[in-house]
Amino acid sequence: MSSHPWIFRALLGMLCATFVTTAQADPLRVSGTGALLTSVKQLLEPFLREHPDILMQFYFPPVGTSGAIRALTDQQMEIALTGRPLKKEEEAAGLVQYSLGASPFAFVVHRDSPVREVTMQQLVDIYAGRLKTWPDGSRIRVILRPVADADTAILSNISPAMREALAAAHANRQPGSALADTDIDLVEMVEKVPGSVGSVAMTLVLSEKRPLKGLTVDGIAPTTAAMENKEYPHAKPTFVVIRGDASREVRAVVDYLLAPERKKSLMQLGIAPAPR
């Protein structure tokens, strides 16, 4: 070996390459609802510093709840962050969900808007098209989500009156008027369109430090504390979904997110943790 040092160096290089390839695990791929992706990424920063052997790839822009569930089922993703419970056929496909908690489902306006509070009846009238201007006389512009979207379902379930108002809003929507396909689209539209209002989970607003504010509804602000005290009733559920045969690394991530020690961080990010 000493008479052929280049052979030794070549073998050493091959061994080092093999070691790196073995030690460097494939990244855990994560995406899902835009309301949750940034929040979870921030929550996991301390965990990833403590576990440098676990790599994670967060896919932005987010692919949405249904897109992430499909990718998880097809083994194109390891963790899906979702805004609705699993359907029976998704559970039958071997997926397992864990409740992270719920975020206040808020009616948001630009933070510079003079509007700070509304009643639920005023919101019903706004969506129905009966109330067209804010108190200062400026035009109200409602940003809707697609009819089949989970956020539309949350909004519809507030009351029969809101369900009728929302149906009217979609039926009367003019071609080319504002329709946000994703959570991210909605907050960006509310930021840019004067006088606009839309509904979204507060965790997205807080985690991404969006220039928006949640309106107080019937005297109650959309905060996690108000949700915990059962004062603010409108909530968006949040879930972490994995496959039943998930790896040790995936389960370690889930255990970290669900640990009781995460409560303070979750609350700061606009998520009231589920009881453990």
pLDDT of 214-254, one tens digit each? Answer: 999 999 999 999 999 999 999 999 999 999 999 999 999 99
Into how many domains does the chain fold?
2
- Does 134 lie in the same domain as 123? yes
* Spatial distance between the Cα atoms of 167 and 153, rounded to a whole number of angstroms: 11
- pLDDT of res. 19: 35
Range of the domain at 82: 27-102+236-273
Whether residue 166 is contained in a domain is answered as yes
For the chain, what percent of residues have pLDDT higher than 70? 90
Asked whether the beta carbons of 50 and 253 are under 8 A apart, the reply is no
- β partners of residue 232: none
Whether residue 91 is contained in a domain is answered as yes
Which one of 195, 211, 228 terminates a domain? 228
Asked whether the beta carbons of 54 and 41 are under 8 A apart, the reply is no
Place of tokens 């109330």: 131
Question: Cβ atoms within 10 A of the Cβ of 131, count?
Answer: 15
- Does 69 lie in the same domain as 148? no
- pLDDT of res. 176: 60
DSSP string of 3-18? Answer: T-HHHHHHHHHHHHHH
- Does 208 lie in the same domain as 117? yes
Q: Longest Cα pair distance anywhere in the chain, in angstroms? A: 91
- Does 108 lie in the same domain as 222? yes
- Give 47-67 pLDDT, tens digit per residue: 999 999 999 999 999 999 999
Encoding tokens for residue 222? 């959309």
- Does 60 lie in the same domain as 136? no
Question: Exposed/middle/buried for 229, CB within 10 Å: 0-12, 13-18, 19+?
Answer: exposed
- Does 154 lie in the same domain as 83? no
- What residues contact residue 86 under an 8 Å CB cut-off, 6+ apart? 69, 95, 97, 239, 241
- Does 204 lie in the same domain as 128? yes
Whether residue 98 is contained in a domain is answered as yes
- Does 224 lie in the same domain as 109? yes
Question: H-helix or E-strand containing 217?
Answer: strand 216-217
Whether residue 144 is contained in a domain is answered as yes
Question: H-helix or E-strand containing 92?
Answer: helix 88-92
- Does 150 lie in the same domain as 195? yes
Per-residue pLDDT at 6 exceeds 60: no
Which one of 192, 208, 228 terminates a domain? 228
pTM confidence score: 0.87
Question: Exposed/middle/buried for 112, CB within 10 Å: 0-12, 13-18, 19+?
Answer: exposed
Single-letter residue type at 140: I
- pLDDT of res. 173: 86
Whether residue 259 is contained in a domain is answered as yes
For the chain, what percent of residues have pLDDT higher than 90? 87
- Does 87 lie in the same domain as 196? no
Mean per-residue pLDDT over the chain, rounded: 90
Whether residue 240 is contained in a domain is answered as yes
Whether residue 157 is contained in a domain is answered as yes
Whether residue 11 is contained in a domain is answered as no
The CATH number of the domain holding residue 175 is 3.40.190.10
